[in-house]
Chain A
Amino acid sequence: MKIFVTVKQVPDTSGKVAVKADGTLDRASMQTITNPDDLNAVEAALTLKDEYGYKVVAFCMGPPPAEPMLRELIAMGVDEAVLISGREFGGSDTYATSQIIAAAIDHYGIEEDDIILAGRQAIDGDTAQVGPQIAEKLGLPQITYAGDIKKEGNTLTVKRILEDGYMMIKVQTPCMITCIKELNTPRYMTVSGVLGAWEKPLTIYDYPTLQDHPLIDKSTIGLKGSPTNIYKSFTPPQKGVGTMLKGDGKDTTNELASILAAKHII
């Protein structure tokens, strides 16, 4: 009984976004964080673990410096991590990435009652494609935009939240679900979790580990195997962030006045 959670290390877009001359992100010069939606997937996995005793395994494709991020997830309660890392995988777009992650999860071994959870989308590319593509490549049913997950035996009932309403969908395991931030509030690491984080297993899947898997073909992975071409990356102009004050009484106007006074506007 396992839950695979796919996670991505992304640039912290709340800081400075750097773009290289070829239009791709200059990841090395930017602070990194765990993709926020992926943390919701981790929390969903840990909640199910707390209730039903799942083993939670995090899968991340990325360079070796992604290890501390995976250790942080272990400090939150994840049991094991797999870092898919190899030069051959570099430059992969969503198509190639999903191919590789699907192969890695399959290599680990998917059983009847297993679940794959992913964040809805990553804040760097915003494509929301990798999760669904993993499901397609593994031939598993998928539900996107999960705002609630309930389990009964091997059946999951998922509330799929859309812009204009929601859908209630039942699905049999094994399956793939992408999670949105409305699903939960991710927990913090724990002190004991941090102090034991480096003792838990973290396995590296490199190219030789996965090369014999049917989904791995050099022509469909890495930069060469990626059908996407990036012409230009840029940071859109930032809109000012507003502050909403709630209430219609004197307290609210006083609050507004004190904010303006604090900024020396009045």
Chain B
Amino acid sequence: MILDKEHAMLQKLYRQFAETEFTKELLEELEETGEFNREIHDKMAKYGFMGVKIPKQYGGAGGDYLAYALLIEEFARVSCVLSIYANTSNSLGGGPLMLAGSEEQKKKYLPQVADGSKIMGFALTEPGAGSDAGGMTSTAVLDGDEWVLNGRKTFISGAPFDDWIMVFAQTDPSQKGSRGISLFILDTKLPGVSFGAHENKMGIIGYPTSDLIMEDVRIPKDCLVGELNKGFSYAMKTLDGGRLGMAAQAVGVAQSCLEEATKYAKERKQFGRRIADFQGISFMLADMATDVEAARQLVYHAAQLKDANSPDATLACSIAKYFAAEAANRCAYKAVQIHGGYGYIKEYKVERLYRDARITSIYEGTSQVQQMVIASNILNKIK
């Protein structure tokens, strides 16, 4: 795809910002502390990155899915974890509200999410409900004018510093499976809300992840988002777009692997010549370049389908996520391999890329879940 002038300029902006602001010192600090860096979050917000996909009438920039995918790709090319900073508001956090929120809810919450003054998270997964999100046990019971929430959500990115969290809970246990689930906006400052310990993650370090615990949390009745018992479909639709973002993130990580490996292969000399001149190495670089480009085109194509509201968008997003995440893992493996022993040392960027790449084939639908989505679409489509 040849980007039009607007998207090409956005790509230039994202790249310029990431290359200038995501300094070596900042990336090291994130790795060392594992803490959320408010300063870089605020800087991203200042230039409008938090609201790329949020409509203009709610304080965002009103960009499309392609504008969003380019953002995540360019940020992830420099830092996978920092791409998450700008992702949440445009994707899992702001997404369900944009999808199902009432006009009043959108006006109340989205402008503050778009300008970065508030952070909104997403809580679907539970200890016993991962890929099978319909198996959740968290409950919401109406008591007068309030919903009473109970349950435990797990692997919630940003939970400890989220201001609001989009929470899914069972509202009608008599309905089986994914039916009977509803979506709520939870204010994390309310009594009964607490968080588990920070997960000690392999990668994407610098954006804390923890459990969200809800014990008799009372939220106003109007915190229900969308229709009662329709929550699961909102979750799936949100994850459609989320998958596109994570596919773009995988492309960014893979691109970075390619760049690092190429630079190193040209610099490193063995047997009297640079290792890039050995066919074994150069073919690995060729495979990586092919993987990156194929993944990128799948992502951009899926973004265009989403923007066109195409019925094929769900399939395209899953294909893009599946391919790009696996490509990122292949590229990370090769990048470390080309670096040899140095690739196993933390001082080299590929060590971090290797760990960061691993998550892309796990979160927002594992590669196997994507295969299930792809297969079921194909089985229905081809008669």
List of B residues within 8 angstroms of A191 by Cβ: 10, 13, 47-49, 51-52, 61, 63, 67
Query: Quick one: CB contact mask for A12-28 with B, threshold 8 Å, 1 for yes?
Result: 00000000000000000
Q: When the two chains form their complex, are residues A75 and B52 in contact, meaning their CB atoms are under 8 A apart? A: no
Given A195-B63, A264-B269, verify A188-B47 contact (CB < 8 Å): yes
Nearest CB on A from B113, distance (A): 14
Which partner residue on chain A sits nearest B348 by CB separation? Answer: A262
Q: Does B227 make an interface contact (CB < 8 A)?
A: no
**Any chain A CB within 8 A of the CB of B308?**
no
Q: Which of chain B's residues have a CB closer than 8 A to the CB of A68?
A: 5, 9
Rounded to whole angstroms, the CA-CA distance of A151 and B210 in the bound complex is 51
B53 and chain A: residue at smallest CB distance: A191
Interface status of A197 (Cβ within 8 A of chain B)? yes
A72 to B12, CA, bound (A): 10
Asked whether A258 is an interface residue with its Cβ less than 8 Å from the other chain, the reply is: yes
Note all chain B residues with C-beta closer than 8 A to A123. Answer: none
Tell me, rounded to whole Å, the shortest Cβ–Cβ distance linking A199 to chain B.
11
The answer to the question of A238 belonging to the interface, with a C-beta cut-off of 8 Å to chain B, is no
B107 close to chain A: CB less than 8 A: no
Which residues of chain B are near A198, meaning CB under 8 Å? 5-6
Complex Cα–Cα for A263 and B47 (A)? 37
A192 contacts B by Cβ under 8 Å? yes
- In the assembly, what is the distance between CA of A198 and CA of B4, in Å? 12
Taken residue by residue from 7 to 27, chain B's Cβ proximity to chain A (1 for < 8 Å, 0 otherwise) reads as: 001101100110000000000
Whether the Cβ atoms of B16 and A188 lie closer than 8 Å is yes
Question: Bound state CA distance, A71 and B67, in angstroms?
Answer: 17
B103 within 8 A of A: no
How big is chain A's contact interface, by range? Answer: 10 to 19
B273 within 8 A of A: no
Residue of A197, A262, A263 touching B9 (CB-CB under 8 A): A197
Contact partners of B108 in chain A: CB under 8 A: none
State the Cβ distance, B234 to closest chain A Cβ, in Å: 26
Determine if B9 and A188 form an interchain contact, defined as CB atoms under 8 angstroms apart.
no
Residues of B within 8 A of A72 (CB): 9, 12
B62 within 8 Å of A (CB atoms): yes
- Whether B9 contacts A75 by the Cβ 8 Å rule is yes
Shortest CB distance B59–A (Å) = 10
Residues in chain B near residue A197, CB distance under 8 A? 6, 9
Q: Mark B285-312, 1 if CB is under 8 A from A, else 0.
A: 0000000000000000000000000000
Q: Closest CB of chain B to A188's CB: distance in Å?
A: 5
CA distance A258 to B48 in the complex (A): 38
Q: Whole-angstrom distance between the alpha carbons of A193 and B342 in the complex? A: 43
Minimum distance in angstroms from A187 CB to a CB of chain B: 8
Give, as a whole number of angstroms, the nearest-CB distance from A46 to chain B: 13
If A68-B9, A72-B9, A195-B61 touch, whether A190 touches B347 (CB-CB below 8 Å) is no
B267: Cβ under 8 A from any A Cβ: yes
CA distance A198 to B5 in the complex (A): 9
Is there a chain A Cβ closer than 8 Å to B201's Cβ? no
Question: Is B268 among interface residues, defined by CB-CB distance under 8 A?
Answer: yes
Nearest CB of A to B343, in Å: 12
The residue in B61, B342, B347 that gathers the most chain A C-beta atoms within 10 A of its C-beta is B61
Q: Which of A189, A192, A194 has the most CB of B within 10 A?
A: A194
Best-buried of A189, A193, A195, A262 by chain B (most CB within 10 Å):
A195
Whether A194 contacts B51 by the Cβ 8 Å rule is: no
Fill in one digit per residue for A163-200: 1 if any B CB lies within 8 Å of its CB, else 0.
00000000000000000000000001111111101100
> A263 and B61: CB pair below 8 A?
no
Q: Which residues of B contact A258 (CB under 8 A)?
A: 347
Distance from B268 Cβ to chain A, minimum over Cβ atoms (Å): 7
What is the distance, in angstroms, from A34's C-beta to the closest C-beta of chain B? 12
Once the chains are docked, how many angstroms separate the CA of A225 from the CA of B353?
Answer: 58
A148 CB to closest chain B CB, in angstroms? Answer: 23
Q: Give Cα A264 to B67, complex, Å.
A: 41
Given contact pairs A195-B63, A262-B347, A264-B268, A188 touches B17 in the complex (Cβ within 8 A): yes
Contact flags A255-266 to B (C-beta < 8 A → 1, else 0): 000100011100
A38 to B51, CA, bound (A): 29
Q: Which B residues are CB-close (under 8 A) to A192?
A: 48, 56, 61-62
CB distance from B67 to the nearest CB of A (A): 8
Q: Give, as a whole number of angstroms, the nearest-CB distance from B341 to chain A.
A: 12
**Additional A-B contacts beyond A194-B9, A195-B62 (13; CB < 8 A):** A68-B9, A72-B9, A72-B12, A191-B13, A191-B51, A191-B52, A191-B63, A191-B67, A194-B10, A195-B6, A195-B61, A198-B5, A258-B347
- A sample of 24 cross-chain residue pairs with beta-carbon separation below 8 angstroms, ordered by A number, consists of A68-B5, A71-B5, A190-B48, A190-B61, A191-B10, A191-B49, A191-B51, A192-B48, A192-B56, A192-B61, A192-B62, A193-B48, A194-B6, A194-B9, A194-B10, A195-B10, A197-B6, A198-B5, A198-B6, A258-B347, A262-B348, A263-B267, A264-B268, A264-B269
